[in-house]
Structure 1
Amino acid sequence: MKFTLSWLRTHLVTDAELPTILKTLNAIGLEVEGVENPAEKLGAFRIAKVLTAERHPQADKLQVLTVDHGTDLNGGNPLQVVCGAPNARAGLVGVFGVEGAVVPVNGMVLRKTAIRGVESNGMMCSYRELELGEDHDGIIELADDAPVGQVYAQWAGLDDPVIDVSVTPNRQDCMGVRGIARDLAAAGLGTLNDIIVPEIAGEGPGPDIRIEDAEGCPAFYARVVRGVKNGASPEWMAKQLKAIGQKPISALVDITNYIMIDLGRPLHVYDLGTLKGGLVARKGRAGEQVLALNGKTYSVDETMTVIADDEAVHDIGGIMGGEHSGAQDGTTDVLIECAYFTPERIAVTGQKLGLTSDARGRFERGVDPAFLDDGLSIATFLVTHLCGGTPSEATRVGAPPVAPKTVAYRPDQCLALAGVDVPADEQKRILEKLGFAVSGDAAGIEYQDGMPVSVAGDWTVTVPSWRRDVDGWPDIVEEVVRIVGLDHVPSTPLPRAPGVARPTATPEQLVERRVRRTAAARGLAEAVNWSFLSEKEAESVGGGHWTLANPISEDLKVMRPSLLPGLLSATRRNMDRGASSVRLFEVGRRYFAQGERATVGFVLAGEKTPRGWRSGKAQGFDAFDAKGEILALLSAAGAPVANLQNFGEASAAYHPGQSGTMRLGPKAVLAEYGVLHPGLAKQFGLTGTVVAGEIFLDAVPAKRRSGSLRAPYAPPALQAVKRDFAFLLPVDVEADALVRAVRGAEKKSIVDVRLFDVFVGPGVEDGQKSLAVEVTLQPGDKSFGQDELEAISAAIVKAAQKLGGSLRA
C-alpha cells in the first residue's frame, strides 16, 4: 500500500515530521517497507530556457541549442546543448540536467561530450527520462513564467515522500489512506479529519440493476450520470496517482482508482452506451468469456460472480471490468457501480483465473459493507465536478451484511492477556479513536480492608463495520496494545520451579536431535524445505494424498509424500551456482492419508572427492555411499543395525539394481536408499550420478528410539580371536545372507562378521562366486581351546552349507 505524505495529510491533521510518522507506523503494526522521495534524485535538474535553436550541421534531426540555466555553472553563461527532441525551439522553458546529473530512467551520468562533432553540455529532459510519466515524444514544456535556475522538483511540488506500507491480510481497513490515518490518530499523532459525503440531488429514475447471485453479491448500488465529458484528470489527482505508480488514464477511470486508494472502496464505471439492457449480478455460465481491461480474455463458470447485461458479461465481479464497456474518451453517459462482493467468492475466483488486481486485493480482505451509499455519493460528486453531467437517483438492490457485532470486554483483560497495564480511560480513548463504540460501566473504586482499590467495569464494545477481523475480547486487547506500542510489553521471565527441571523434549524429538547431529557430523548440510509440492513433483515420487483446497500457489498444492523433491530442488540450485559437491539432509514430515510420518532424507551429488592430480578425474558417489549414510543414521536413531536385512526393492524413485531397502523382517521397512532413477534426476535438472535415501523414523522400534541410557561400557577381559573363511556359493546368494548365517552359527562366541572379498574368475566355476568373511570370536571367562575353535569353525562351515556353499580349498 503506497501513499504520499501529502495524501496522508488530507486525512490527518498533524505536525509530526516524516521520521516520527514512520516510527509510529512500525510501532502500531503497519510495517514500513520503504520510503522514496522523488525530489532526492531530481536535485540536479533545473528549470532552463532555450535561447536559440539552430540545425545541427552534421545531422538533420538534431538541433544545437543555447540554454539559459540560471546557475553559476560556466560562469553563469548559457550552455550549448545538442538535442534531438522535435519540440525543441527558441523560447521553450523546460527541464535541464547539468553536467554530473544522473538520469533516473537509466542511471546515465551526464558528461560534456561531442555529438557529431559539436560539443554538448548536459541534456534537456523528457518526462520519461525523469520517471515522471511515459511521455517521450519531446522534452518537457513548462509555463513561460517558470523560474529559470530553480530546482525543478521543488518548483513542481515533487518534494513529497512516497511511503510504502505492508498491510497484513487481516487489516482490510488499512487498504485505504484514510484507514492508515485513523490508526495514526489513535496513536496520538494528530486528529482525523471528518469525511465529507456530499448530498446528491438526482434527477430521474436510477438505472435498471438486479441481483441473481445474492451469495456472491449481496448488495448492488448504482447511479447514472448523463452528459459527462471525459478527459484528462486534474493535475492534483494525476500527480497523486503517478507518485504511487498508478498511470493516469482518464478522469472517469482515475476517479475510481483515487477513491479506491483514498478510502479503500473499489468502484467501476460503465459506458452506458455500450450496455444492452439492465445490469445483473449473477453467476457465470459455462462457455462465457470476457475481455478484461488488462487485454486478456478469461473464461468464467458458475462458481464466479459476474456483472452482465442482456447480451454479454462485462465485469468479473469485484476483480476487473471488461474492456468493451469501460469508459472511453468519447463516453457521454456512465453508470457508476458500487457493490459489495463476498470476500470468499472473490478469493476463489481470483485464484482460479490467476487474476490479481487492486480491487481483488481489497474485496477479498473485505471492504466496509456500510460504505456503499457514501462511496457512491463521493464518486458521483467527483464525476459531476470534474466531468460535468446530470446524475440520476440511486438504485439500491440487496442488503450488505451490516449487522452490528458486539464484544463483551473488561479493561483488566488487557493486563491479564498482554501484560500491559493501560488505564481504562486510555483504553476507551484508543478504541473510540479506532471507530469502536464503547458503552457500559466505567471503572470504579471499591474498598478492601479500608483501602481504595480500582475495579474495572464491564464494557460492551461495538465493532466498526470496517473491521471484520475483530471477533472476541482478545482482538480488543490486541488493538489496545498495538496502539500503545508492542515495545511497552514487559519482558517477564517465567517462574522457575525448584529442583531439576523435567525434560521437555519427547522421545521422538530426542531421536530427531541425535539424527540431526549425526548427519551434520558426517559432513551433510541441513536443508529446510516447504512441506508443499506441485502435483507434478508429487507424482514423481508416487503421488500425494493431501491436496490443499486453497494453496498459496499451484507449485505448492500437495503435501509432500517424500522429502526427496525438496532436497533435489535444493541440490539443483546449489549445482547451478557452481557447487561441485552437494551433501544435503532434512529432518521433516511426510504426509499420507493415515497421517504424518517423521522422516530423514538426504541427497549426495557431484564429486565425492576432488579431482586428483594423478588421474585428473574426480570420484563420484555410488549406492554404497548412500548405504553407509543409511546405516550411520539408523544407528543414531537407535535401530538394531546388526539385525537389519538388506532387500533390493526400493521405490520407483531409485535406479533398479542400484538401490535397496533396510528392513526388520520382510514387512518392516526402516529405510530405502540408492542411486536416483535417471528419469527423476532429469526431471529435476540434475546430471551425473545422484544418490539419495530416506529413513522412516516412525518405523524404528519405539523401545530402541526411546532415548533411554545405554548400558555401561564393559571391555572384555580376554583378547578376541579372528578367523578368515572363504566359501564358494551360487552367484544368486546374497553376501548378506552368508554374513547373517555365519553370525548365527555360534551366537555366544561370534561377535562380528565382516565381508572383505568377493571374487569371480579363474579358479571359480561358472555360476559360483567366492565370498570371504572375517569372523571375530570373543572368549568369555577363559581363552578358547583348540577343540572349541574347531567346533565353532565346523558350525560356521555347516551354516554356509545350508546356503549351498562349501569351504574353498
Structure 2
Amino acid sequence: MKFPLSWLRRHLETEASLETILATLNRIGLEVEGVEDRGAALASFRIAQVVEAEQHPNADRLRALKVDPGDGKLLSVVCGAPNARAGMKGVVALPGAFIPGTGITLKKGEIRGVASEAMMLSAREMGLGDDHSGIVDLPADAPLGESYVTWAGLDDPIIEISVTPNRGDALGVRGVARDLAAAGLGTLKPLPTPKVTPAYPAPLRWEIADPRACDHVLGRAIRGLRNGPSPKWLQDWLVAIGQRPINALVDVTNLFTFGLGRPLHVFDVAKVKGNTLTMRMAREGETLSALNGKEYALTPEDGIIADAAGPEALGGIIGGAPTGCDETTTECFIECALFDPVRIALSGRRHDIRTDARARFERGVDPALPPLALDLATELMIELCGGEASEVSAAGTPPAWQRSATLRFERLAGLGGAEVPADEAVGALERLGFTVEARDAAKVTVAVPSWRNDIAGHGALDQFPGLDPARARAAAEGCAVIEPEADLVEEVLRLRGLDSIPPVSLPVSGIVPPPALTAKQARAVLARRVLAARGMLDCVSFGFLEAKTAALFGATPPELHLENPIAADLDQMRPTPVASLALAAARNAARGWPDVALSELGAAYRDPSPEGQLAVAAGLRAGQTPRHWADASRPVDAFDAKGDALAVLAALGVPMAALQVTADAPGFYHPGRSGVVRQGPKTVLATFGELHPKLRAALDIAGPAMAFEVFLDAIPEPKKRKKGAPDLPAFQPLRRDFAFLVDATVPAEALLRAARGADKALVTDVALFDRYAGDKLPEGKVSLALQVTLQPREATLTDAEIEAVAGKIVAAVVKATGAALRG
C-alpha cells in the first residue's frame, strides 16, 4: 500500500514529522516497506523560460532554443519537442544532472553543428509519467529559476507499508490515518457529509438475480458532464502511487479505492444495452472483454454485472471495455456494491486477474460506507466534470453487520504477555472506533466498528459479507468460530506498541527432547531403508487407479469410487499398493526394461472408515535377479518376495520364531506359490508370492513377477525392555542337523514349529536348509533337513545330554507330523 505524505495529512491532523510517522507505523503493526523521495532525483532541475525558438539549420525535426534558467545567462539548447516555442516555461537540466527517465548523465555537446548546453525535459524523462509527446509546459506564473521539485510539490515523500491479509481497512489512506490518530499522533479529520439533490430519475436500475453474485448495490447517474483529464492534484497523487491517470471519472474511482478503501466503478449510460444492470452468475460460454484489453472465458462460479447484451463487468474485480467511460461520455452511472470476499478471491485466482478492487473486496470492505461513498463520489465528479445527479437506484438488503465482542482484562497478560490497566485498554479500543456497551471490573463488551471486518463477534455473522472469509464460512457451515477476544487483545497491545511486549522464551519440556517421530513413523522410515538396502527402488504413486484394474487386486466398494477423478483411468481407490507397482512394472517392460525391483510405502483402501485405510510396505520384483560376478542371474521366485517381507519384519523387531506361514494368500497371488505370514492365528503381518498368471496377462507382464505386502499397522508395539545386564551366555552354541522323511503335503512350517517346542530352554533357533524330492524316495514323500541351534546356559552339554535333547526333537516332530528320521 503506497500513499504520499500529503495524502495522509488530508485525513490526519498532525504536526508529527515523517520520522515519527514512520516509527509509529512500525510500532502499531503497519510495517513500513520503504519511503521514496522523488524530489531527490529531480533536485537539480530548474524552471526555465524559452526566450527564442528557431528552426535548426541542419535538421527539419529539431529546433534551436535560447533558454533562460533564471540567472539571465542564455543557454543554447537543441530540442526535438514539437511544442517548444518562444515564451513558454518548462523544466531545464544543466550539465552534470542525472536524467532518471533515460538513465544518462547530461553533458555539453553539439547536435548537427549547433551547441547544446542543457536539456528541456519531458514528463517521462523526469520519471513522472509516460508522456513524451513534448517538453513539460508550465503555467506562465511559474517562478523562473526556482526549484521545480519545490514548486511542483514533488518533495512529498511516498510511504509504502505492508498490510497483512486481515487488515482490509488499512488498504485505504483513511484507515492508516485512523490507526495513527488512535496511536496518539494527531486527530482524524471527519469526512464531509455532502448533500446531493437528485434532478431526475435514475436511467438504469439494479436487479440482483442471484444473491451469490452480490449482496447489496447502490447506483446513481450523472448527466450533462464533460469528461476529460483530471486536475493536476489528482493526477499527481495517482502518479505518485504508481497509477496511470485515465480521465476524471475513472481517476475519481481510483481516488476512492486508495483513499477510503472503497472501490467504485462507472458505466457509460449510453453504452449500456437496456435499462437494467443485473447481478448474476455467468453462464457457460459467456465471455468478458475487460478494461485491461484481455478476453476472459467466464464460468458459472463467476459473479458478473450484465446488461441486455451480456457481461459488462466481473463483479468486484474488473470492468468491461464496451461500457467503459472515456472523453465522449456525457452521462455515467456509478456502481457501489458489496460482494462475497471468498467468491471474489476464487474468481480472481481462477482468471489470474490482480486488481486493486479485488485486493480490497477479497479482504472485506466497510459495509456501512456505500451511501456516504456514493454521495462523496457524486459530489466530486460533478465538481470536476459538471452535470447533475439522478436519484439513487438500489437492490438487495443492507447487511446486518452490527456485532459485539468481549474482552476480559486478565487476558491481556495471560494471552498477550503484557500488564495493561483496564482504563488504558478501554481507551485504546475507543480510539480505534469501538463503542463500549457494558463494562465491569473484569471485562468490557464493545460494539465492533463496521470497517473492522477482521474482528468477529456475537451478531449476524452469516449476513455480514465483509466479515473475514474464513470466519464467515465457518459460521455459515455451523463450525466453531474463533472468539474475537484474541483480536481485541491484539488491538490493545499493538496500539500500545508491539515493541513494548516483553519477549518470553518457550518453556523447556525436559532436558532430553522427545522423539521427533512416533513409533509408527519410525517403522515406516526403517522399512523404506531396509527395502532400499535390498536393491529396491522407492516409488511414489497415486492412491487411486482404474476401477477395472483395481478389481483384479481385491474388492472395489462403491464408496471408494471417486466422483470427480483427475483422470478417467484414476477413478477408484486402490486395494493395495501392489497394484500401482504392477502397473509400473508393466510400463517398464513395455519400454524394454523387464527386470525391476520396486517398493512403495503407501496406503491400501479396504473401506471408507479410518480403519479401512492400511499403511503398507509393498514390493514387487519382476524378470531376472540382478547380475553379480559371484552368482548367475536367474528368474525371480516366491522366496525372493518372502525374503523381502521377512527382512522388513525382522528389522521392525518382530520375533521371527513366533511367526508361521499359511497358504491362504489373497486371490491376486498364485494359489500354489504364495503365503501369509502370521503372528498367531488371527494377526496377519504380511503376504507374499507370485502374481496370478491371469493378472499378469491382463497387465501385459510377460515374465515372472513376485510381490509382497507388510502391514505396518498390524505389527505390535515393541515391549519396553527393563534396564539390566544383557543376556550374554558364557557357553558356545552348538548345532545339529536332522533329516526327516515326510509326506509332500505336510508344510515345512509344521516341522519347524514342533522342533522349536521340543525344549524351549535349550533350542534357540530352527531353520530349514534343504528339501529333496526324487526317484530315491518313496512316491509322495519329501526329505526336509533342519538345522537346530542349542544354547547351553548352566554348563557345557555332555554327549548324553545332547542325545537326550536330540531325542526330544525327533519325538516332537514325529508326533506332530508323522515324519520319520532318515538314517
TM interval, short-chain normalised:
0.5 to 0.7
User: Do residues 160 (structure 1) and 145 (structure 2) align?
Assistant: no
Identity among equivalent positions (%) equals 39
For the aligned residue pairs, the C-alpha RMSD in angstroms reads 6.6
Match of residue 8 from structure 1 = 8
Please say if residues 39 and 153 of structure 1, whose CA atoms lie closer than 8 Å, have aligned partners that are also in contact. Answer: no
Distance apart, 1:401 and its partner CA: 0.6
- Structure 1: how far apart are the matches of 2:764 and 2:726? 15
User: Do residues 713 (structure 1) and 713 (structure 2) align?
Assistant: no
Q: Which one is further off, 192-201 or 300-309?
A: 300-309
- Structure 1: how far apart are the matches of 2:765 and 2:76? 94
Please say if residues 220 and 390 of structure 2, whose CA atoms lie closer than 8 Å, have aligned partners that are also in contact. Answer: yes
Match of residue 353 from structure 2 = 355
The residue type equivalent to 1:465 in the other structure is: S
Q: Which one is further off, 238-247 or 354-363?
A: 354-363
Match of residue 500 from structure 2 = 488
Relative to structure 1, the CA distance from residue 777 to residue 328 in structure 2 (aligned partners, 3 Å threshold; closer, same or farther) is farther
Q: Which one is further off, 778-787 or 96-105?
A: 778-787
1:234-283 deviation per Cα after TM superposition (whole angstroms, max 9, x unaligned): 11111111222211111111111110111111111000001122222233
Q: How does 1:269-668 map to 2 (within 5 A)?
A: 269-277=266-274, 278-441=276-439, 456=441, 459-470=444-455, 471=457, 472-491=484-503, 505=514, 509-511=517-519, 594=609
- Structure 2: how far apart are the matches of 1:360 and 1:406? 28
SS in 1 for 2:379: helix
Please say if residues 528 and 601 of structure 2, whose CA atoms lie closer than 8 Å, have aligned partners that are also in contact. Answer: no
Q: Which one is further off, 225-234 or 311-320?
A: 311-320
Relative to structure 1, the CA distance from residue 716 to residue 35 in structure 2 (aligned partners, 3 Å threshold; closer, same or farther) is same
Q: Which one is further off, 226-235 or 539-548?
A: 539-548
- Structure 2: how far apart are the matches of 1:20 and 1:645? 79
Match of residue 655 from structure 1 = none
Match of residue 175 from structure 1 = 171
Distance apart, 1:547 and its partner CA: 11
Distance apart, 1:423 and its partner CA: 2.5
Please say if residues 99 and 121 of structure 1, whose CA atoms lie closer than 8 Å, have aligned partners that are also in contact. Answer: no
The residue type equivalent to 1:229 in the other structure is: R
Structure whose CA Rg is larger: 2
1:699-754 deviation per Cα after TM superposition (whole angstroms, max 9, x unaligned): 653xx457766764344434578999xxxxxxxxxxxx999999998798898999
Relative to structure 1, the CA distance from residue 413 to residue 90 in structure 2 (aligned partners, 3 Å threshold; closer, same or farther) is same
Q: Which one of the candidate residues 197, 213, 216 is aligned to 2:213?
A: 216
The residue type equivalent to 1:42 in the other structure is: A
- Structure 1: how far apart are the matches of 2:174 and 2:312? 30
- Structure 1: how far apart are the matches of 2:336 and 2:655? 70
Q: Which one of the candidate residues 183, 192, 195 is aligned to 2:188?
A: 192
Distance apart, 1:330 and its partner CA: 0.6
- Structure 2: how far apart are the matches of 1:548 and 1:116? 76
Match of residue 23 from structure 1 = 23
- Structure 2: how far apart are the matches of 1:124 and 1:419? 60
User: Do residues 143 (structure 1) and 134 (structure 2) align?
Assistant: no
The residue type equivalent to 1:382 in the other structure is: L
- Structure 1: how far apart are the matches of 2:293 and 2:151? 38
1:194-247 deviation per Cα after TM superposition (whole angstroms, max 9, x unaligned): 111311111112243133224532322111100111111211111111222211
**TM-score of the two chains, using structure 1 as the length reference:** 0.64
The residue type equivalent to 1:468 in the other structure is: N
1:484-514 deviation per Cα after TM superposition (whole angstroms, max 9, x unaligned): 2334344567899xxx9699958x8454896
The residue type equivalent to 1:331 in the other structure is: T
Q: Which one is further off, 301-310 or 267-276?
A: 301-310
- Structure 1: how far apart are the matches of 2:750 and 2:44? 85
- Structure 2: how far apart are the matches of 1:22 and 1:339? 33
SS in 2 for 1:166: coil
The residue type equivalent to 1:427 in the other structure is: A
Relative to structure 1, the CA distance from residue 492 to residue 353 in structure 2 (aligned partners, 3 Å threshold; closer, same or farther) is closer
The residue type equivalent to 2:730 in the other structure is: A
The residue type equivalent to 2:196 in the other structure is: I
SS in 2 for 1:242: helix
Relative to structure 1, the CA distance from residue 130 to residue 212 in structure 2 (aligned partners, 3 Å threshold; closer, same or farther) is same
- Structure 2: how far apart are the matches of 1:19 and 1:637? 64
- Structure 2: how far apart are the matches of 1:123 and 1:539? 70
Please say if residues 39 and 154 of structure 2, whose CA atoms lie closer than 8 Å, have aligned partners that are also in contact. Answer: no
User: Do residues 237 (structure 1) and 234 (structure 2) align?
Assistant: yes
Please say if residues 434 and 448 of structure 2, whose CA atoms lie closer than 8 Å, have aligned partners that are also in contact. Answer: yes
SS in 2 for 1:222: strand
Match of residue 250 from structure 1 = 247
The residue type equivalent to 2:239 in the other structure is: K
Relative to structure 1, the CA distance from residue 331 to residue 521 in structure 2 (aligned partners, 3 Å threshold; closer, same or farther) is same
The residue type equivalent to 1:232 in the other structure is: P
- Structure 1: how far apart are the matches of 2:731 and 2:429? 82
Please say if residues 39 and 154 of structure 1, whose CA atoms lie closer than 8 Å, have aligned partners that are also in contact. Answer: no
Relative to structure 1, the CA distance from residue 430 to residue 115 in structure 2 (aligned partners, 3 Å threshold; closer, same or farther) is same
Relative to structure 1, the CA distance from residue 118 to residue 300 in structure 2 (aligned partners, 3 Å threshold; closer, same or farther) is same
1:596-655 deviation per Cα after TM superposition (whole angstroms, max 9, x unaligned): 999999xxxxxxxxxxxxxxxxxxxxxxxxx99999999887566999999xxxxxxxxx
SS in 2 for 1:418: coil
Relative to structure 1, the CA distance from residue 786 to residue 489 in structure 2 (aligned partners, 3 Å threshold; closer, same or farther) is same
Relative to structure 1, the CA distance from residue 645 to residue 143 in structure 2 (aligned partners, 3 Å threshold; closer, same or farther) is farther
1:365-417 deviation per Cα after TM superposition (whole angstroms, max 9, x unaligned): 22111111101101101110111111112223332113521234454553454
Consecutive unaligned residues of structure 2, counting only runs of 5 or more, are: 458-483, 533-539, 551-558, 565-572, 578-599, 618-641, 662-675, 688-707, 738-746, 769-786, 818-823
Relative to structure 1, the CA distance from residue 242 to residue 100 in structure 2 (aligned partners, 3 Å threshold; closer, same or farther) is closer
Consecutive unaligned residues of structure 1, counting only runs of 5 or more, are: 444-455, 525-532, 550-558, 564-585, 602-626, 647-660, 673-692, 725-736, 756-773, 803-809
- Structure 2: how far apart are the matches of 1:631 and 1:123? 86
Relative to structure 1, the CA distance from residue 80 to residue 231 in structure 2 (aligned partners, 3 Å threshold; closer, same or farther) is closer
The residue type equivalent to 2:497 in the other structure is: G
SS in 2 for 1:298: strand
Q: Which one is further off, 337-346 or 633-642?
A: 633-642
- Structure 1: how far apart are the matches of 2:117 and 2:643? 71
SS in 2 for 1:315: strand
Please say if residues 228 and 388 of structure 1, whose CA atoms lie closer than 8 Å, have aligned partners that are also in contact. Answer: yes
1:322-358 deviation per Cα after TM superposition (whole angstroms, max 9, x unaligned): 1101111211111111122233333343344443322
Please say if residues 262 and 365 of structure 2, whose CA atoms lie closer than 8 Å, have aligned partners that are also in contact. Answer: yes
Match of residue 129 from structure 2 = 133
- Structure 2: how far apart are the matches of 1:697 and 1:44? 73
Distance apart, 1:64 and its partner CA: 9.3
Distance apart, 1:161 and its partner CA: 2.4
SS in 2 for 1:466: coil
Please say if residues 216 and 398 of structure 2, whose CA atoms lie closer than 8 Å, have aligned partners that are also in contact. Answer: yes
Q: Which one of the candidate residues 198, 203, 206 is aligned to 2:202?
A: 206
- Structure 2: how far apart are the matches of 1:244 and 1:290? 28
1:441-473 deviation per Cα after TM superposition (whole angstroms, max 9, x unaligned): 5x6xxxxxxxxxxxx165441111222332244
Match of residue 570 from structure 1 = none
Distance apart, 1:426 and its partner CA: 2.1
The residue type equivalent to 1:237 in the other structure is: L
Match of residue 568 from structure 1 = none
SS in 1 for 2:391: coil
